Amino acid sequence: MRQLLDVKLKSKVVKEITNGYPLLSKEAIEISGVSMKEGSILRLIDSNGRYIATAYYGLQNKGIGWVLTLKEQEKIDKKFFGKKISEAVAKRASFYETEDTTAFRVFNGEGDGIGGLIIDFFNGFYMVSWYSEGIYSFRDDIYQVLSEVIDARGLYEKLRFNHNGQYLEQDDYVLGEKGEFPLIVSENGMKYAVDLNDGAMTGIFLDQRKVRKALRDHYSEGKTVLNTFSYTGAFSVAAVLGGAKGTTSVDLAKRSLPKTIEQFAVNGIDYEAQDIKVMNVFDYFRYAARHGLKFDVVVLDPPSFARTKKMTFSTAKDYPKLLKDTLKITNDGGIIIASTNNASFNMKKFKIFIDKAFSDANIRYKILEEYQLPEDFTVPHNYPEFNYLKVVFIKVMN
């Protein structure tokens, strides 16, 4: 029997919860003797005991749970999950109908009404990512619904929550056909190799789909392109297919080399004609400056936080410096594709970082294009802070 608890909200958060804010933070609730367990259903009430919303308890880095409904009579059961997932799948109907893109997000957590649950589609296979033990406790109901709503060749899952001090991030085949990896998916006609059974990542970040297309279609022809924090080289593939004169992919992870070679290979690109560096991006900047290397286009998509033996990097405080270092190796008239997925600041703040970097370097610039999450990455209405992706195409004017 699932635990059902009355939990009192602090008065200052009642209005925003009522207005559709989905995240339940520790600071939002009054301290009480109530003992909450992962997966407990929380009946959120105000100081007078009036019903406000229903949530579930599930610890993850963002908070202690997510609001599921504002309707007091709505039960959190298989029917509830079926409704939410069916609605999400229907919203993506056009994605299922196109042949040139076969990888996209089917269910985007709080944007589709169930925070902590992510479902992605990869050419007939589905991958479910669970971000807390709380949401994982509903696993049986959700998988039963999925088997009824979607037609999957195979189903995989990733456990992305903290368990006894460890992030499991393990992969697991769930049901259906076992995939042969790498699995080849299409994205706007480009091919990418993905692996649903190889660690925390799949080999491609689906939220950058429109950015890769823009790079291929408008910014690559005849250009030299530097792809920093390159992961598996997806941006480099887009650049080559867009007619780039040459690409350089730089990432510290040793596996970035074979993975980038693989991405080039599935697109019929001679990887030996491209440059792939396994090294710290910041060291590469110094290397490039020393050797007088400059690029026409630089893709700058760092992790929100990174630590090496030599340094600690945070986009929230270090992005202006990163941009200034980038300017030293960018040609006059060149393009910097500045990107971040740090949810702790918005697009306006990101543009302040950009302006600071160019002002400090005494270089003029022009913003050509901006991107945030694509339409399959639904975000909650009224709360744009959940639209974490920020990408700005910047032209260096001096």
Phi, psi torsion values for 147, nearest 5 degrees: -65, -25
Of 341, 372, 375, which Cα lies nearest the Cα of 106? 375
Of 385, 217, 394, which Cα lies nearest the Cα of 323? 394
330-340 and 295-300 beta bridge pairing: parallel
At the fourth CATH level, the homologous superfamily of domain 205-396 is: Vaccinia Virus protein VP39 (3.40.50.150)
Q: Are 216 and 190 in contact (CB under 8 A)?
A: yes
Rounded Cα distance, 332 and 171, in Å:
45
For residue 185 the two structure tokens come to: 């998916």
3-state secondary structure of 352: helix
What was the pLDDT predicted at 311?
A: 80
Give the domain ranges of the chain.
Answer: 4-69, 78-185, 205-396
For residue 292 the two structure tokens come to: 């007088």
- The yes-or-no verdict on residue 171 having pLDDT over 80 is no
pLDDT digit string, tens, across residues 268-282? 999 999 999 999 999
3-state secondary structure of 374: coil
Q: Which residue has the tokens 């899952």?
A: 157
Rounded Cα distance, 52 and 45, in Å:
5
Mean of pLDDT values over 80-102: 97
Which of 2.60.40.10, 3.30.2310.20, 2.40.50.140, 2.30.130.10 is the CATH number of 4-69? 2.30.130.10
- CA-only gyration radius of the chain, Å: 23
Mean of pLDDT values over 328-347: 97
What was the pLDDT predicted at 3?
A: 83
What kind and span of H or E run contains 96? Answer: helix 93-97
- The yes-or-no verdict on residue 169 having pLDDT over 60 is no
Phi, psi torsion values for 289, nearest 5 degrees: -65, -40
Mean of pLDDT values over 180-187: 97
Mean of pLDDT values over 322-338: 97
pLDDT digit string, tens, across residues 131-153? 999 999 999 999 999 999 999 99
Rounded Cα distance, 239 and 257, in Å:
17
Cβ neighbors of 184 (< 8 A, separation 6 or more) are 123, 191, 192, 193, 194, 266
For residue 176 the two structure tokens come to: 């259906």
Sign of CA dihedral 133, 144, 386, 313: positive
Q: Are 99 and 186 in contact (CB under 8 A)?
A: yes
Q: Are 185 and 211 in contact (CB under 8 A)?
A: no
- Decide which of 123 and 167 is more confident: 123
78-185 has the same fold as 4-69: no
> What percent of the chain is modeled with pLDDT above 90?
89
pLDDT digit string, tens, across residues 66-81? 999 999 999 999 999 9
Rounded Cα distance, 298 and 393, in Å:
10
Mean of pLDDT values over 182-189: 98
CATH architecture assignment, domain 78-185: 2-Layer Sandwich (3.30)
Of 149, 4, 148, which Cα lies nearest the Cα of 75? 4
DSSP code, position 126: E
Q: Are 183 and 195 in contact (CB under 8 A)?
A: yes
Q: Which residue has the tokens 């950015």?
A: 211
- The yes-or-no verdict on residue 164 having pLDDT over 70 is no
Q: What's the count of helices (H) and strands (E) in the chain, helices before strands?
A: 11, 23
What was the pLDDT predicted at 165?
A: 52
Mean of pLDDT values over 181-188: 98
Of 244, 251, 372, 264, which Cα lies nearest the Cα of 300? 251
For residue 133 the two structure tokens come to: 């033990």
